[in-house]
Chains A and B, each alone.
Chain A
Amino acid sequence: MSAPIFGIELSYWQETVLRSVGILAAVLLPAGTFVYLFLFKMVSFMQSRLGPMEAGPFGSMQLLAEVGKFLQKEDIVPERADRKLFKLAPYLVVSTVLLVYLAVPFGPEMTFVTNFDGGIFYVLAVSSISALGVLLAGWSSANKYSLIGGLRAAGQLIAYELPMVLAVIGVVIQAGTLNMQGIVMAQADGSIFGFDGIGNPFLLTQIIAFVIFMIAVQAELGQTPFDMPIAESELVTGYITEYSGLRFLLFFIGEFASAGAFAAVAATLFLGGWAVPSAWADLDSAIFNLLGPIIMLTKMMILGGLIFFVRFTFPRFREDQLQKLAWTVLIPISLANILVTTILKVVF
C-alpha cells in the first residue's frame, strides 16, 4: 500500500484521503458529463432542438444552475410519510454508487482497495443496495404512485440481477479471476489465436454476455425501455413523486452516477478497462496512473452514449413483459453462454 505515486512517498492516511477524493471525483465527473453531454445535448440533437444554450458557452454551466435551483427549493416531507425512512432513502441510493466505485480500477495504482480479490463479486453485491433505497422511498412516501413504483423497482431488480450475474460469470471464466484488476490484465495481455496486437477485449469473445449485461444494466438503472419504476406517463414519477429540493437532487445524481458506475464496470469487463493492449505500452509504468483514468472515461462515455441513445429511442415495456423477457429469454441465453464458454475454456 505504501508504493510511491509519481515518486512521492505518502503515509497511509494521506493516501486514503487522496483516494477518497478520487472516488468522489470519479462519481461526480462522469455523472455531470453524462447529464450535460447526453441528457442535455445529445438528446436535444436527436429531438431536433438545441437544449440549454443560455448558461455558459453552449449551456455548459446549465448543470450548476440546476443544482443551485434544487438547493433553493423547499424541503417537503409529506404529512403521513415515514419521516426517517423518507429522509434516509436518497442517501442510500447515492452511497451505493460510491461503494461500487471502490472496487473499480482506474490505473495500476488507481483503486481504493488495491488487489481486491472477488472485486466483481463485491460490485454486483453492493450495486443492488440502491434498489433497497428505491423501495424505501416508494414505501415511506405514503403515496400510491410511489408505492407502485417502488414495488415495480423491486420486482425488476430480482428479475435482472440474475442475467447480469450470469453474464459476468462468462467473463470471469474466461479471465480466470474475480479480481477486476486481474480481468483488465487478462484482456490487455491476452491474444486472439496467437495474435496479440489488440490484446483480447472480451467484447469480441463474450459479445452475447455483453449484450445481456447492457440490457440488464438498462433495467437496473431504470432507463427506458425498462423505466416502469418512474413511468412518468403512468405513475407521475413513480418513487420520486414526493421528493423535492436536495433529496430530489440526490436521486438525480444517484441515477446518473450509477449510470456512470455501470458504464465503468462494463468498460472494465468488456472493453479492457483503463488499460491499452500490453503490446502497445508498458502498463506498469507510473504514467498509466494518469493515462488510465482518461482511457477509462473515454470508454465510459462510449457506453454511456449507448445507454442514453437507447433510453431516448425506445418505448417502454409493461411490467409483466419485462419479467417474461428476463426469465424466458435472457436467463436461458446467458446459461447457454456460460456452458459454451466453459467448454471452449477447457478445450483451448
Chain B
Amino acid sequence: MTALTERQQLAYANAQAADGRVNLEFETDEGMTLNMGPQHPATHGTLRIVVKLDGEEVISCEPIMGYMHRGYEKLTEVRTYPQVTTLINRIDWLGSFANEVPFILAAEKLMDIEAPPRAQWIRTVLFELSRIANISLFVGDMALHIGAISAAFYAFRDREYVLNQIEAATGGRFHPNFDRIGGLKDDLPKGWIADTKATMEKIRDFCDEMETLVEGNEIFQARTRGIGVIPADVALAYGLSGANLRASGVDWDLRRDEPVGLAWNECDWNVITHPDGDSFARFWVRLQEIRESTKIVDQLLDGLPAGPIMAKVPRIIKVPEGEAWVATENPLGEMGYYVVSKGDLGPFRVKIRTASFNNVAVIPWVTRGVYVPDVVTILASLYFILGDIDR
C-alpha cells in the first residue's frame, strides 16, 4: 500500500477525533449508553444509533450515519449521463427502478425532450412494481422486528413474484438499469401483461394475509398503537415525506400533486392517509398503498397506449447548459435530483435528495422517553434503507 499523504493522515485523525467526541459526550453524562449498531440486527445495514438509557427508558437517542457513504454525488461527476443510471440504481436498492426515473426526467427536462406515451406508461408501471417489491418487504421486516418470524418469510415469498416480473421485463431482478433518456431500453416481452395482472392478484392476497396475520394481531397492535407518535407539524418541520408524512395525516403525495411526465393522473386511485401518526399508522398506510399500487398497475396495463418506446435522441447525449430539479414519490418518500449541466457529456454537479436521510432525522425527537423495544419498532416503522441515507 502506498503511504498516506499528510493530508490523508490529518483527515483520518480528524474523523477519529470527531467519533471520539460523540462517544465522550454520551459516556460522561448519567445513565447507561447502549450502542445499537453499526452491526446490529435492527438497523439492517450500518446505521449506528447511540441510545442513552435509564433502566430500559430512553433518555436520548442519536443516529450516527455515514458508515456506508459511497460518494455517489461525486461519482456522477465523472460519468456520462447514460452511465449514471447504473450508479443511482444502488441508492435505494430495494426499489431500484424508482431511483432511475427522477434523474432521467431531470436530464430530459434539460434536453427539452419528452418520452413517448407508451414509454411513460411502462415507466409508471415499473415504478409501481418496484414500490410493491420495496414495501412488501417492509411489511415482513416490521413484523420481524416485533418478533413474528413467519410473516417475514411470506413477504419474501410474495415479493419474489414481483421481482420475477421486473426481471422478465428488464433483465435485472434488483438493478434493472432499464430507463433511458428519451424512453426505455426495450418494449415489454410477450405475455408480460397477463402475468403481471396475475401477480397483482397474488399481491392483493398477500395484503389480505398480512392484514389478518400481522395487522389484526392484538400483540402487534399493543406494540405499535400510540408508540412513536409524530404530529403533523413535527413531521413537516423535520421534512418527512412519503408514507411517514401521510401517516401523520398530511395529505401530500407527489404522484398526485406533481406527476412530472408520468402517467399517474391517467388512472383512478386514492392517496392514503391516517390521522394517528403512530407506528401502527405508518404500517397501515404502507400496506394500503400496496393495494393502491396494484390498482394503478392493473389500470395502466389495461389502457397501455401503442406506439414507440423511444423518442428521437441524438446518438451521443450532450445535455445543454442549465439546471433542473425533478422529484418523484419514491417508495421511501420524496426523492429528487438537482442536476447542473455545463453542456458536457456528464453532469457538472448532482445533488441527490433522498427520503430516508430526512426520515431518520426525526429519530431523536420521537424516541425520547420510550423503552428499548419501542426504539426498534419506531425504527422499523420509519422504514429507511441505509443506501438511501448515506448514498
Contact = CB atoms under 8 A, between A and B. Distances in A.
Interface of A: 43, 46-49, 144-145, 148, 224-225, 227-228, 231-236, 312-321
B222 A314 contact: no
Contacts of B223: 315-318, 321
Given A144-B34, A148-B56, A316-B148, 11 more contacts: A144-B32, A224-B149, A233-B376, A234-B375, A235-B372, A236-B40, A314-B219, A315-B146, A315-B219, A315-B223, A318-B371
A225 B219 contact: yes
A233 B42 CA distance: 5
A313 B35 CA distance: 30
A231 B147 contact: yes
A3 to B, nearest CB: 48
Contact of B219 (A47, A48, A317, A319): A317
B23 interface: no
For A49, A148, A232, A315, which residue has the most chain B Cβ atoms within 10 angstroms? A315
Measured as residues with beta carbon below 8 angstroms from the partner, the interface class of chain B is 20 to 34
A314 B147 contact: yes
Contacts of A317: 219, 222-223
Given A312-B149, A312-B150, A313-B150, A233 B144 contact: yes
Contacts of B374: 318
B372 A148 contact: yes
Given A144-B32, A233-B41, A319 B148 contact: no
B150 A236 contact: no
A145 B374 CA distance: 15
A42 to B, nearest CB: 11
Residue of B147, B157, B223, B376 with highest tally of chain A CB at under 10 A: B147
A146 to B, nearest CB: 12
B145 interface: yes
B153 A49 contact: yes
Interface in B16-51: 32, 34-35, 40-42
A178 to B, nearest CB: 35
B383 to A, nearest CB: 14
Contacts of B153: 47-49
B14 interface: no
Contact of B373 (A234, A236, A313): A234
A316 B146 CA distance: 6
B150 A320 contact: no
B252 interface: no
Contact of B220 (A148, A312, A315): A315
Interface string B214-225: 100101101100
A262 B197 CA distance: 50
Nearest to B213: A313
A318 B224 CA distance: 10
14 contacts: A47-B153, A48-B157, A144-B32, A233-B41, A234-B373, A234-B376, A312-B149, A313-B148, A316-B147, A316-B223, A316-B373, A317-B219, A318-B223, A320-B371
Most chain A CB within 10 A, of B34, B144, B154, B220, is at: B34
B143 interface: yes
A233 B149 CA distance: 11
B219 A234 contact: no
B371 A319 contact: yes
A107 to B, nearest CB: 37
B145 A233 contact: yes
A312 B217 CA distance: 14
A233 B147 contact: yes
| Residue of A144, A145, A233, A316 with most chain B CB atoms under a 10 A cut-off | A233
A200 to B, nearest CB: 34
Nearest to B147: A316
Contacts of B157: 48
Nearest to A321: B222
A148 B56 CA distance: 8
Contact of B217 (A46, A144, A314): A314
A224 B147 contact: yes
Contacts of A48: 153-154, 157
A225 B147 contact: yes
Contacts of B149: 47, 224, 312
Contacts of A227: 147
A235 B145 CA distance: 11
Interface string B128-153: 00000000000000011111111001
B143 A315 contact: yes
Residue of B34, B372, B376 ringed by the most chain A CB atoms within 10 A: B372
Contacts of B35: 144
Contacts of A228: 373
A312 B222 CA distance: 18
Contact of A232 (B41, B56, B150): B41
Contacts of B144: 233
B42 A315 contact: no
Interface in B294-348: none
Given A315-B220, A315-B223, A318-B223, A234 B150 contact: no
Contacts of A312: 149-150
A48 B153 CA distance: 7
A238 to B, nearest CB: 11
Interface in B34-75: 34-35, 40-42, 56
A315 B40 CA distance: 19
Nearest to B35: A144
B146 to A, nearest CB: 4
Nearest to B373: A318
B51 to A, nearest CB: 10
A144 B147 CA distance: 21
Contacts of A316: 146-148, 219, 223, 373
Most interface-central of B149, B157, B219, B375 (chain A CB within 10 A): B149
A201 to B, nearest CB: 30
Contacts of B147: 224-225, 227, 231, 233, 314-316
Interface string B344-383: 0000000000000000000000000001111110000000
A148 B55 CA distance: 9
B36 to A, nearest CB: 9
A103 to B, nearest CB: 33
A315 to B, nearest CB: 4
Contacts of A233: 41-42, 144-147, 376
Contacts of B145: 233
Nearest to B372: A234
Nearest to B224: A315
Question: What are the 6 closest A-B residue pairs judged by CB atoms, nearest first?
Answer: A316-B147, A47-B153, A315-B146, A315-B148, A315-B147, A233-B145
Nearest to A48: B157
Contacts of A314: 147-148, 217, 219
A227 B222 CA distance: 16
